[in-house]
Amino acid sequence: MRPGVAARLPAAEAVAIVLNEGASLDDALRVVLARVATELAPTVRSLSYGAIRGFFRHAKLLGELLSRPAGRLEPLVRALLSVALYELEDRRSPDYAVVDAAVEVARAGANARAAGLVNALLRRYLRERARLDAALARDPAARFASPAWLAARLRADWPEHASQVMAALDTQAPMWLRVDARRTTGEAYAASLREAGLGARAEPRVPYAVLLDAPCDVQALPGFAAGLASVQDLGAQCVAFALDLQPGQRVLDACAAPGGKTALIAERQSALHQILALDADAARLERVRDNLRRGQLAAQTLAADAGAPANWWDGAPFDRILVDAPCSALGVIRRHPDIRLRRSAADLEKMPRVQERLLRAGWSMLASGGRLVYSTCTFTHAENRGVLARFLSEVTDADPVPPASWPDRPDIGVADPYGWQILPGEAGADGFYYAALKKR
C-alpha cells in the first residue's frame, strides 16, 4: 500500500472506533498507532482529528448526497468518507489523489462494493461542490460542524455569541505555554523561542503566557525538561487571577489532575504554607506528580474523593480552595473535537449534581475569610451560573467576589452576576469559567 494510502486506513479506523465504541479519539489513536510506522503517525493523527472535527458538517454533506441517512453506513466507510471530505476541504492534496486514495483504502479495509460507493459519492461531491457549499452557508450549525443539541444550547445561553463560538470550535486550538514566573518572563521566554527558530509572542495581559505560531514537540522547547515552560491553555492559566494567592496560605486543589493548575499555584506563590493536590483517580494523580517533579515544585498529593472529606480531611481549614469541577468540557472542543460525538443534551443535565456536591464539600473545608474558586472548562449556564445560584440560595455565609476586583485580571471574557466566562476563541483561549466566593 502506498505511504499516503497507508496513513488513511488507520486514520479511518481510529474515527470508526470513536463512532462504534464511543471511545475518545486519543484512546482510539493509541490503539491504531501501535501498529503504524512512526513516520506515518503525524499524518494519521492530523487526518483523524480533521475528520472528527468536521464530522457533523460531513454528515450534512453526505445527507445531501445519499438517498439514506449517513448513519446507516457501516462505521469504517462512514469514517473513511469523513477523512476524504476533510482532505477535500483542506485542499492540500489534489482532488483526484484524495479520491483515488479513498477508493484504494475502501478496497483494502472494506470491500469492492464499498469502494464503488466511496468513489461515486466523492466524485458527485466534487461535481456539486458549489451547491453543497451554498447549502452549508444557510445552516451555521452544519457549516461549523456543531451537533443540533450544542447549537441549540449556544443559542439559548449565548445568543449574541453563538455563531462566533461555533466558528471557534471548528478550528484547531493553538499551542499556549506557561512559563515559570519565578525564573523568567513571557517576553524573555518568547525571545528565547525565536532564537531557537520557533515563532512565538508573549501575551501582555497574562505576563507568564506565551503563544507559539505553530505547535511543536515539547522537547524542542528550551528548558522544558527542567520545568521552565509547560503546555497550558491561556484560559486555564487565568485561574491565578481568581485565587489571589497570598504567602502563608493553606491551599487545596480539589480536582487536581493532570496538574497544570496545581503547578501554576506553586509557581505563582512560592511562600504558601501548603498545597494539597487531590484527585479521585490515582492513575491520573501520577501525572500531577510528574508535572510537579519536572517543575521542581513542592505540593502534597492524595488520591481521594473531594466530595467526601470525612474520608480523608484532617479538619484543618484551607485558606484557598480550587474546585475545578468535572464538566461537559465543551470549552475545550478545539483540543478534543470528539467531545461533540461523545456528549449529548442528556449529559449536560447530569453534570450540575456532580458539581454541586463538590462545591458543598469544598465549602465545608474553607476557613472563615477564605476564598473558594469554582471553575469549569465549559460555557453552559446550567453548569456555571446555575450551579452557583443554587448554592448561594442554600448557604448564608458566602459572598461572590466580583471579577472586577480580582487583581490584574485581563480585560477579556464576560462577567456575570457570579463570575467570569472566557468564551472559546477569545484572545486565542479555550472556554473557561471562574467564580470566586468568600466565606464570612
β-pairing, 274-279 vs 300-303, is parallel
Domain 234-439 superfamily per CATH = Vaccinia Virus protein VP39 (3.40.50.150)
Residue-level pLDDT at 4: 60
Q: What gap in Å lies between CA 379 and CA 425, rounded to an integer?
A: 12
DSSP for 331-346?
A: GGTTT-TTHHHH--HH
Residue-level pLDDT at 120: 94
**Nearest-CA neighbor of 324 among 355, 351, 296, 345?**
355
At position 400, the amino acid (one-letter code) is P
3-state secondary structure of 273: coil
Residue segments in the chain with a per-residue pLDDT below the cut of 70: 1-4, 69-71, 110
Q: How far is CA 431 from CA 98, 146, 201, 331, in A?
A: 34, 16, 21, 4
Residue-level pLDDT at 83: 97
The number of beta carbons lying within 10 Å of the beta carbon of residue 314 is 7
Residue-level pLDDT at 364: 99
What CATH class does 3-138 carry?
mainly alpha
Q: How far is CA 424 from the centre of its chain?
A: 10
Q: What gap in Å lies between CA 237 and CA 247, rounded to an integer?
A: 20
3-state secondary structure of 400: strand
Residue-level pLDDT at 248: 98
Residue-level pLDDT at 350: 95
Residue-level pLDDT at 19: 94
**Long-range contacts formed by 113-119: CB under 8 A, 24+ apart:** 114/74, 114/77, 117/77, 118/77, 118/80, 118/81, 118/84
At position 355, the amino acid (one-letter code) is Q
Residue-level pLDDT at 67: 73
What CATH class does 176-231 carry?
alpha beta
* Preceding peptide of 417 cis, ω within 30°: no
Q: What gap in Å lies between CA 217 and CA 378, rounded to an integer?
A: 27
Which positions are annotated as active-site residues? 377
Residue-level pLDDT at 365: 99
Q: What gap in Å lies between CA 434 and CA 180, rounded to an integer?
A: 22
Residue-level pLDDT at 175: 99
Q: What is the pLDDT of residues 197-244, one digit of tens each?
A: 999 999 999 999 999 999 999 999 999 999 999 999 999 999 999 999
3-state secondary structure of 330: helix
Q: Which of the 8 DSSP states describes residue 70?
A: G
The number of beta carbons lying within 10 Å of the beta carbon of residue 12 is 30
Which ranges in 269-325 belong to alpha helices (H)? 282-294
Q: What is the pLDDT of residues 2-32, one digit of tens each?
A: 656 789 999 999 999 999 999 999 999 999 9
Domain layout of the chain by residue ranges: 3-138, 143-170, 176-231, 234-439
